[in-house]
Structure 1
């Protein structure tokens, strides 16, 4: 992409690919979204009330699961277990998923899980169901939102599920990413995909959705972007104070970085089994490192991978392209979650700043790492 076009893009909130800084070399799907994987829909409800509430729900709905008795093979990887992933143990034990996957704020996870149970029990054909494993992930949005009020209701959950569509995922400050912070900037929801050539085994699509709320140093094509430098806070005579500390901020004078969480949902249509999907989920968490995660002790980093395709019996030695693709897609989803987020004033006068895209462009152009398309 010509530099002048990148410069014009930097004046708006745009995706990493439009800015010319998308990670990796893989080819994205048509929408560069998790919904590029057939049979996957996403719905979101955003809750805002002045500066007090910035939260919501993101629903990842699997068509094959959104019917009575529906199940798909799935795998789980826990990079760091400082979180409240409802339904994790049965998912790992049985290697299958039987409900949509919902994401929200930490203290609303349990109300969301109850609402998800109500939704599935009401599905025609489930009248005799007496056991169910709802899957609900979370990150802590308490820096920008009144998390103790637990504002997410059953109505919000049912609306997110009802609104689920195969259209490109809305990203940034939306749904479960409305109040999150990541890598020192305003975080949110991000999504990306890759079309993968499996050689003799055909091709598949890998899609990722990320709820970003973790610490570290934002890294764009190998270039570190710190809040202090990007926001001009080292400029002599500048009166602007540093951003207030948040769970997703890593102050330079802290001996121990304070993490928070990241939820990653990976969709594949390669026909993989649960064991292989666990390996895919592992690489998804590895992908966070490409965007700058420090994997701090207080972070809950989880990846759930599922497969919507019919089993093809793909051998492990053919999985490298999938492993590489999921790491690239995660890194791009993380960048998009920040690049499309906007500065947010929240609870108790806390503020999280959007990453300045013009600064990112300037740094990457100076380093000679802008991509060309």
Structure 2
């Protein structure tokens, strides 16, 4: 393995936590979840994109999924947050992109959702969009990705293996002064005789002192402090919105394990949703009194622990799968190069 070869954390023999991973070690191990990217690397200045996450393959507006949102530090823009907090559900796909593209992402979700069969009379939507700022490598003022490009990410969403590193919404991101990106991981979680799946996808773009499996990565590395991260958690465990909010909060435990600075300038968001049909908010369930089975408080701790593990590993996968990138620093108007994490250093652990 050369020092420029992308590889996942486990390829270096580094294992995190006690739970077994899913077959793909990805958010798509949760049945029905689909991920799509649009990646824009053009000329000397464009290094950006969008990543779409669909909780299930049906009509999300009609068959909503319970969800919970947690905010550790709110220096960011998370569209749809108030309705998630108020109603405990999401009704559209989730898009991740750059800071100045949030408005276009909302329009992309509107177009995509309104075009679905069965939504011909829909007149209000709560689009869900997360962002981080990729302006250290991308000309963020150039209005990319466009609405059409983000619709393409939504249309491209599929199950199976998930591309990581410098792709989608992680194309131009920076974490710990190194090249960040998109990362994912999953866990199989035994609970009361059942085994549930939990998967995490992150867009890493934050600062701190990088720590890998409890050990500092490089004491000589010049450490960034500010930046942001969006964490998306999917599970097939039947959880109500209140415990999904609690599940989302636990992701910050995994974030902290990586050495995050959690600074004033960081935007740290975690969104969790359940794909379980037992708790899905169908039109019939929304129209009348309904009995909805959900795991009780006393059984959710293993899922909490799995979310911590999977978040930590997803973040580290976003780094190990990224490659050195040269782009354009929009703040100072100069070319910039952000190097990737050293695979040689990882292989020696």
State the Cα distance separating 1:79 from its structure 2 match.
0.8
State the Cα distance separating 1:23 from its structure 2 match.
1.7
Q: Which residue of 1 aligns with 2:346?
A: 360
Q: Which of 59, 70, 73 is matched with 2:52 structurally?
A: 59
Q: Is the 8 A contact 1:43 1:58 kept in 2?
A: yes
1:197 pairs with 2:164: no
CA RMSD of aligned residues (A): 1.5
Q: Is the 8 A contact 1:184 1:227 kept in 2?
A: no
TM-score, normalized by length of structure 2? Answer: 0.91
Q: Which residue of 1 aligns with 2:245?
A: 278
Q: Which residue of 2 aligns with 1:238?
A: none
Question: CA–CA distance in 1 between the matches of 2:143 and 2:218?
Answer: 32
Q: Which of 248, 255, 265 is matched with 1:298 structurally?
A: 265
Q: Which residue of 2 aligns with 1:336?
A: 317
Q: Which residue of 2 aligns with 1:209?
A: 201
Q: Structure 2 vs 1, CA of residues 271 and 216 (structure 1 numbering), >3 Å: closer, same or farther?
A: same
Q: Which residue of 2 aligns with 1:105?
A: 98
Q: Which residue of 2 aligns with 1:168?
A: 161
Q: Structure 2 vs 1, CA of residues 80 and 67 (structure 1 numbering), >3 Å: closer, same or farther?
A: closer
State the Cα distance separating 1:84 from its structure 2 match.
0.6
Question: CA–CA distance in 2 between the matches of 1:182 and 1:262?
Answer: 9
Q: Structure 2 vs 1, CA of residues 45 and 272 (structure 1 numbering), >3 Å: closer, same or farther?
A: same
Q: Which of 80, 85, 88 is matched with 1:92 structurally?
A: 85
Question: CA–CA distance in 1 between the matches of 2:183 and 2:220?
Answer: 24
Q: Structure 2 vs 1, CA of residues 275 and 129 (structure 1 numbering), >3 Å: closer, same or farther?
A: same
1:36 pairs with 2:3: no
Aligned length: 330
Question: CA–CA distance in 1 between the matches of 2:275 and 2:122?
Answer: 23
Provide the secondary structure at the position in 1 that maps to 2:130. strand
Q: Is the 8 A contact 1:263 1:303 kept in 2?
A: yes
Q: Which residue of 1 aligns with 2:331?
A: none
Q: Which residue of 2 aligns with 1:180?
A: 173
Equivalent runs, 1:343-354 vs 2, <5 Å: 343-347=324-328, 348-354=334-340
Question: CA–CA distance in 2 between the matches of 1:76 and 1:197?
Answer: 24
Provide the secondary structure at the position in 2 that maps to 1:93. helix
1:218 pairs with 2:185: no
Question: CA–CA distance in 2 between the matches of 1:227 and 1:262?
Answer: 23
Q: Deviations over 1:102-160 (max 9, x none)?
A: 00000011111111111111111111111110000000000100001121112211211
Provide the secondary structure at the position in 1 that maps to 2:172. coil
* Unmatched segments (≥5 aa) in structure 2: 280-292, 329-333
Q: Which residue of 1 aligns with 2:294?
A: 313
